[in-house]
Amino acid sequence: MQPQRLGPRAGMGPVCLGCSHRRRYSPIRNLISREKFDFHFKNLCYAKDRKDTFLCYEVTRKDCDSPNSLCHGVFKNKGNTHAEICFLYWFHDKVLKVLSLREEFKVTWYMSWSPCFECAEQVARFLATHHNLSLAIFSSRLYNIRDPKTGQGLCRLVQEGAQVAAMGLPEFEKCWKKFVDNDGQPFMPWKRLCTNFRYQNSKLQEILRPCFILGPSSSSPTLSDVCLTKGVPGMRFWVECSQMSLLREEVFYLQFHNSRKVQPVQHRCYYRRKPYLCYRLEQSNGQELLKGWLLSKKGKQHAEILFLEKIRSMELSQMRITCYLTWSPCPNCAWQLAAFQKDRPDLILHIYTSRLYFHWRRIFQKGLCSLWRSGIQVDVMDLPQFTDCWTNFVNPQRPFRPWKGLEKNSRHTQRRLRRIKESWGLQDLVNDFENLQLGPPMS
């Protein structure tokens, strides 16, 4: 799911639900039975006769490593009052009064249904008046997604800093351990749990994509809108404001996986690892001006060439460019990147690759050497780079979960790359470039 924002506590105004009403609600006293959990939390794509909403909550101090929660429990609908509203009334009346105004707290919800439009609006108002609280909402199923207002409500939550995500296997397991009368039995995933999660997650990403890319805004630009960004003196840089499509999570895990051999995927024993290129342009002060991703298609230009065409069409000056590649460049792409860098020494280009492409062939090694000699830094993606790539190009609201052997594979590829440098006598040159700021000082 997605992480939330926290901040100093603001004053409570009339928009605060808890301040404007005085209704008393309490969590249900008992843990959820296994039968109820299996019935109400099963993440079916089409669920019938599940009219109740269960809300499992946990309150913790933010930035606290302790696994112990301040309080936790379960709410469900009471009459015509939805579980989310019951929680807000109770939380305002029983919990907020004893929490320190100077501390920040995180509230996590595990819900059988995502909030409806009216509840989302009420929760968003609550967050807007209690800035020392952050909220993460994990939903097993999406409620009434055919209604555009439902999507508006979820986007409103994100705009107020809430994390909204679909429940995956880790969330179901945590919910089972903490809120279900499980008799000490481990959670046994039901059939198609992961498949249904991918469906729910993809639908949720479609709904929230405008929030991820453009953020809170009073007006949403159309696909044809463009904006002029003025950051560096004398620079004119046109950036398309159309929404960058995010990579699907399964695509990222398959294509950026840094294992030497292709890993089997469910019913397929083989899949083609394609050349993806994710790029981000930044000014010297860290301000991001543009980002996107490109894919090489069979029989057409490689992603690196498409990237160069895009960059050449812009009037850039004194810029940092970071690229994440699934495969290191082929010799032709490497030589063209090197030529571009020599023509534009004021641009700093840093390439991270997940895997090395035909690294044992001398012609491919020569291509890599041309990159280093031109001043382009070429490194292997490790956990920080995979995490950054995930946050910027896949799902900024859901934490990256490393696969088994990620760091071990990265170290192995780094050793290969180091041996290539040493065999061509470039180790000292590369070290000098890494300690040198290319181009004129950025100010």
Q: Is 402 helix (H, G, I), strand (E, B) or coil?
A: coil
Report strand pairing: 288-295 vs 276-282: antiparallel
* 276 contacts 284 by C-beta, under 8 angstroms: no
How crowded is the C-beta side of 274, counted as CA atoms within 13 Å?
17
**CA 80/CA 93 separation, integer angstroms:** 20
Q: With 0-12 CB in 10 A as exposed, 13-18 as middle and 19+ as buried, what is 122?
A: buried
Among residues 84, 104, 160, 171, which one is catalytic?
A: 84
245 near 394, Cβ under 8 Å? no
Give me 386's structure tokens.
């995979």
d(CA 401, CA 173): 15
Distance CA 175, CA 169 (A): 10
> Would residue 84 show up in a list of annotated catalytic residues for this protein?
yes
Task: Count CB-CB contacts under 10 A for residue 132.
Answer: 18
Rounded distance between C-alpha atoms, residue 362 and residue 380, angstroms: 19
| SS3 label, residue 333 | helix
Catalytic residue numbers read 84
